[in-house]
Amino acid sequence: MTARSVRSLSGALKPLFSNRCPGVYGAASCNQRQKSTYTTIPPPARYGGRHTVTLIPGDGIGPELGNHVRELFRFCCVPVDFEVVNVDSSVASEDDINNAIMAIRRNGVALKGNIETNHNLPPSYKSRNNLLRTTLDLYANVMHCQSLPGVRTRHRNIDIMIIRENTEGEYSSLEHENVPGVVECLKIITKTKSLRIADYAFRTARAKGRRRVTAVHKANIMKLGDGLFLECCKEVASGYPEITFDSMIVDNTTMQLVSRPQQFDLMVMPNLYGNVVSNVCAGLVGGPGLVPGANYGEDYAVFETGTRNTGKSIANRNTANPTAMLLASCLLLDHLKLHAYASMIRRAILSTVSETRLHTADLGGQGSTSEVVQSIMNAVQSTGPQTLSI
Amino acid sequence: CHAVESAAAPCINGWEEFPRMQTVTLIPGDGIGPEISSAVMKIFETAKAPIRWEERNVTAIKGPGGRWMIPPDAKESMDKSKIGLKGPLKTPIAAGHPSMNLLLRKTFDLYANVRPCISIEGYKTPYTDVNLVTIRENTEGEYSGIEHVIVDGVVQSIKLITEDASRRIAEYAFEYARNNQRNSVTAVHKANIMRMSDGLFLRKCREVAENYKDIKFTEMYLDTVCLNMVQDPTQFDVLVMPNLYGDILSDLCAGLIGGLGVTPSGNIGANGVAIFESVHGTAPDIAGLDLANPTALLLSAVMMLRHMGLHDYGNKIQTACFDTIRDKKVLTKDLGGNSKCSEFTADICRRIQDLD
């Protein structure tokens, strides 16, 4: 489809969509709007030179990691204040999550732990994490998996960026039981969102100097759904001639990832495959404790650990690996344009991770969370600017 | 001469000279299919396995009423023998008929796809000590093929989960675990997101687990399984899951042990039908050049022998195959060697004769 036909189509559909969902717009206007706002979006408001960021502790290891982030930020004198909003996952009422969403709308940025979904509750109880993502339209989930020095893994030199559509696909939460014993679950793929995520992927690839974008799909079986996704990716790819675009079927992708992960550069995919691929990649570089994740939307950004685990079994034992959450907080600082603080903390974290004696249980060591955080603070202190003695 | 009563006991009290011959429908397939099938037949002959092969072709034909179906003689042979061994089939793009594998699946209601993934000593991958089995529901789930365009630009795919199919696959998984001395069964799901559909699947698995108290039952999210699988695959035993997750995970596990060229696979159907197959492609570029690797089809045939109860023959052939690979002297190109398929086969046959 040419750009002109896309524009005319989106024009025809505008009245249809604008009545129902004000947030949805045609592909061409989507491109234009994003082109104009991408480079000039101002950082979120600062009052008195300090940012306010929503912090959602979540369940499991979330609260303790959130505390470590606050401790570290206080130590490094980062001009960020956290507004803590607790979400209770055991109640059926959606008030808590709505409060959290309102807080994020207010502040524009959030750092969150994973909120547990008790799947023994009735199906009307939707996943809180999913609700947050779809309500705030955080359409892009970005995870950067890199082999870290000092972490021993089976594969070396992995550097994969995974961009996953975060709001539709299999996670549309549309299910019904027409006949008792037969459940239908709908997977929705739309052209708008596919174009949007593909556009985001290619823009990111260009900005980060990535050479190759791989679309992961299952279009040989789901011809219409994933076929549409693939078509949208191809369409966007034609606008970026310097970037190689190819596609791969998801089962072949997982096979290639465990045998030769170095062949992948940047990958873009719908929701469920993104879940699988991002977890496989996180496992390849050393586990859930090392990789941060970011969810970007048009107006909001939420940062969390990449693999979104609650870590219930290791909660409150001081054995969780804080690296993922702390690196996520560095991504947060980058988003707030506090780059100096971000690089300082990131350098300290990476130097700590390379020290094997401080590795936590998930990396095969016996270190504790507080030891790791203390070591990071020491690293910051030794490399940061020295105050003059008075 | 006394005939042995059941094929499951070919070696009772010295009656092994007269094991009952069992018929197996052999579908050589396309591309490298015929040569690897003949390699397998040769190895079985050397091992003196009590198998009589009936070769059939399953290229789709249009039946009365206009529906595509497999040739009636193939169907008749399968219905009688109940056991099949299939090589790779090619799906021509514009032939008008659906994929052959899909047709076979529908014809015989092959509801369970079983893939045992065991690390092959001698074929080095970054993962050693893999020993797990993936059991995948093969008829419904995300691959129901029901898709609609709601409005231009919005597509809906329907994932179907039914109580019956979930119960059937769960029962098969536990039966398999019991018959093959496996300790635990793990249900893989995403019931935190797909509350009703995977919730139903999970509930059925839990119900069936009640009847198999001797086997440990656990449930794990798909993403957690993926995460842990690439870090430590030894923690998994038998995995049971719906169609899409099964597709991805079974290929992931195949990748752990070395790829589709060495992975066996079996499809279990209703009415006791079972078709064992190699899951790799037809490799048309090396077809007819005696370069193909018959390991996948051979290991599937070993799986078939075990299914039929002929464990001794199965073990013998598997040991010979693994020894040949471990020895590294006559490996085919994809395993890192330089030998021909016939040389590889001959080496395995020689080892079988030595084992006797």
From residue A279, give the alpha-carbon distance in Å to each of A47, A54, A324, B102, B247: 38, 26, 13, 30, 16
Q: Shortest Cα distance from A92 to chain B (angstroms)?
A: 14
Mark which residues 64-83 of A lie under 8 Å from B by CB.
none
Residues of A in contact with B126 (CB under 8 A): 154-155, 258-259
Q: What is the mean pLDDT of residues B184-190?
A: 95
| Mean pLDDT confidence for B40-55 | 92
* Cβ contact A119–B161 (<8 Å): no
Q: What is the mean pLDDT of residues B5-29?
A: 65
The closest CB to that of A185, out of B151, B196, B228, belongs to B196
pLDDT-based confidence at residue B274 (cuts at 50, 70, 90): very high
> Chain-wide mean pLDDT for chain B?
88
From B26's Cα to the closest Cα of chain A, the distance in A is 27
Q: Which of residues 337-366 of A touch B (CB under 8 A)?
A: none
The CA dihedral of B120, B177, B173, B315, to the nearest 10 degrees, is: 40
What was the pLDDT predicted at A44? 61
**Inter-chain residue contact B160 with A259, CB threshold 8 Å:** no
pLDDT of B11: 46
Residue A229 distance to chain B (closest CA, Å): 10
Interchain pair B160, A184: CB under 8 A: yes
**Tokens (6 digits) for A315:** 């909660």
- Which H or E run includes B1? none
Nearest-CA residue of chain A relative to B247?
A251
Among B196, B247, B252, whose Cβ lies nearest the Cβ of A258?
A: B252
- Give residue A45's pLDDT: 62
**Residue appearing with tokens 């959290």:** A100
- Give the best residue of B102, B243, B244, B257 to mutate against chain A (max A CB count within 10 A): B244
pLDDT at B13 over 80: no
Task: Locate B335 and state its tokens.
Answer: 């395993």
Cα A147 to Cα A191: distance, rounded to the nearest angstrom: 34
Among A6, A132, A171, A175, most B C-beta atoms within 10 A, so best to mutate, is A175
Closest residue on chain B to A173 (Cα):
B194
What burial letters (b/e) apply to A168-184, b meaning 16+ CB within 10 Å?
bbbbbbebeeeeeebbb
What integer pLDDT is reported at residue B283 of this predicted model? 85
pLDDT digits (tens, 9 = 90+) for A9-61: 444 444 444 444 444 444 444 444 444 444 445 566 677 789 999 999 999 99
What is the pTM assigned to this prediction? 0.87
Tell how far CA B266 is from the center of its chain.
2
Tokens of A294: 């970011």
To probe the interface with B, which of A272, A308, A309, A314 has the most B CB atoms within 10 Å? A272
Token pair 């045998």: residue? A259
- For the beta sheet containing A244-249, the strands, ordered from the edge strand earlier in sequence to the opposite edge, are A80-84, A51-56, A109-112, A301-305, A292-296, A140-146, A159-165, A266-269, A212-217, A244-249
- Residues 166-205 of chain A with CB under 8 A from chain B are 170-171, 173, 175-177, 181-192
User: Which residues on chain B are in Cβ contact (under 8 Å) with A167?
Assistant: none
Nearest CA in chain B to A130: B193
Q: What is the mean pLDDT of residues B300-318?
A: 92
B193 to A127: CB separation less than 8 angstroms, yes or no? yes
Question: What is residue A12's predicted lDDT score, i.e. its pLDDT?
Answer: 47
> What ipTM score was computed for the predicted complex, to two decimals?
0.87
Task: Show the 3-state SS of chain A.
Answer: CCHHHHHHHHHHHHHHHHHHCCCCCCHHHHHHHHHHHHCCCCCCCCECCEEEEEEECCCCCHHHHHHHHHHHHHHCCCCEEEEECCCCCCCCCCHHHHHHHHHHHHHCEEEECCCCCCCCCCCCCCCHHHHHHHHCCCCEEEEEEECCCCCCCCCCCCEEEEEEECCCEEEEEEEEEEECCEEEEEEEEEHHHHHHHHHHHHHHHHHHCCCEEEEEECCCCCCCHHHHHHHHHHHHHCCCCCCEEEEEEHHHHHHHHHHCHHHCCEEEECHHHHHHHHHHHHHHHCCCCCCEEEEECCCCEEEEECCCCCCHHHCCCCCCCCHHHHHHHHHHHHHCCCHHHHHHHHHHHHHHHCCHHHCCHHHCCCCCHHHHHHHHHHHHHHHCCCCCCC
A321 lies within 8 A of chain B by CB: no
Q: In chain B, what residues touch A272 (CB-CB under 8 Å)? A: 190, 244
Of A155, A185, A287, the CB nearest to B197: A185
Q: What is the pLDDT of residue A43?
A: 60
**Residues near A302 by beta carbon (within 8 Å), at least 6 away in sequence:** A104, A109, A110, A111, A112, A132, A133, A136, A138, A294, A295
- Regions of chain A with pLDDT less than 50: 1-40, 389-390
Please list, in sequence order, all residues whose beta carbon lies within 8 angstroms of the beta carbon of residue A293, skipping any fewer than 6 positions away: A141, A142, A143, A278, A303, A304, A305, A306, A307, A308, A328
Sorting pLDDT into bands at 50, 70 and 90, what band is B334? confident
The count of CB pairs under 8 A between chains A and B is 176
- Quick one: which of B101, B27, B26, B35 has its CA closest to B286? B35
**Any CB–CB contact under 8 A between B353 and chain A?**
no
pLDDT at B97: 65
Q: If you measure CA to CA, which chain B residue comes closest to A288?
A: B227
Q: How far apart are CA B259 and CA B123, in angstroms?
A: 11
Chain A residue with CA closest to B243: the answer is A221
The pLDDT, as a whole number, for residue A7 is: 44
Calpha distance B282→B29 (Å, rounded): 8
Please report the pLDDT score of residue B145 as a whole number: 78
Distance from CA of B205 to the nearest CA of A (A): 14
* Residue A329, Ramachandran bin (φ over 0: left; ψ between -120 and 50: alpha; else beta): alpha
Across the interface, do B155 and A224 touch by the CB < 8 Å criterion?
yes
Neighboring chain B residues of A309 at a CB cutoff of 8 Å = 224
Residue B208 in this model has a pLDDT that exceeds 70: yes
